């Protein structure tokens, strides 16, 4: 599978580390419910079709990207920057 890093260009998936579901929402730190925190860590859907994921370019620029891909066919639909440099890159100022 090939992923397009917004910073480095087209790269093999082996250069990246999967970091998880891009839609998972961490419970508030004020929420003292162990069940809510356990559900965040352990309970995941097993979707088919399009899915948003976070990947880290560990063997490259080390930035995070949001990947939308079809988990059934592994077709990559889009790759977008996330994190502190994302807005600058979208404005054309990141290096």
User: pLDDT (tens digit, 9 = 90+) per residue, 28-71?
Assistant: 888 778 898 898 888 877 878 999 999 999 999 999 999 999 99
Average pLDDT, the chain: 88
Whole-prediction pTM value? Answer: 0.78
pLDDT class of 93 with cuts at 50, 70, 90: low
Secondary structure (DSSP) of the chain: -EEEETTTEEEEGGG-EEEEETT--PPPTT---HHHHHHHHH------SEEEEEEE-TTTT--EEEEEEETTT--EEEEEEESTTHHHHHTT---
Domains of the chain: 2-90 (3.30.2270.10)
Q: How would residue 87 be classed by pLDDT, with cut points 50, 70 and 90?
A: confident
């Amino acid at each position: 599978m090939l992923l397009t890093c917004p910073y480095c260009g087209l790269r093999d998936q082996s250069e990246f580390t999967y970091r998880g579901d891009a839609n998972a929402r961490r419970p508030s730190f004020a929420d003292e419910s162990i069940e809510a925190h356990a559900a965040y860590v352990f309970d995941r859907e097993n979707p088919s079709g399009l899915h948003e994921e976070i990947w880290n370019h560990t063997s490259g620029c080390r930035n995070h990207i949001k990947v939308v891909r079809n988990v059934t066919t592994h077709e990559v639909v889009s790759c977008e920057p996330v994190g502190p440099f994302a807005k600058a890159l979208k404005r054309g100022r990141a290096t």
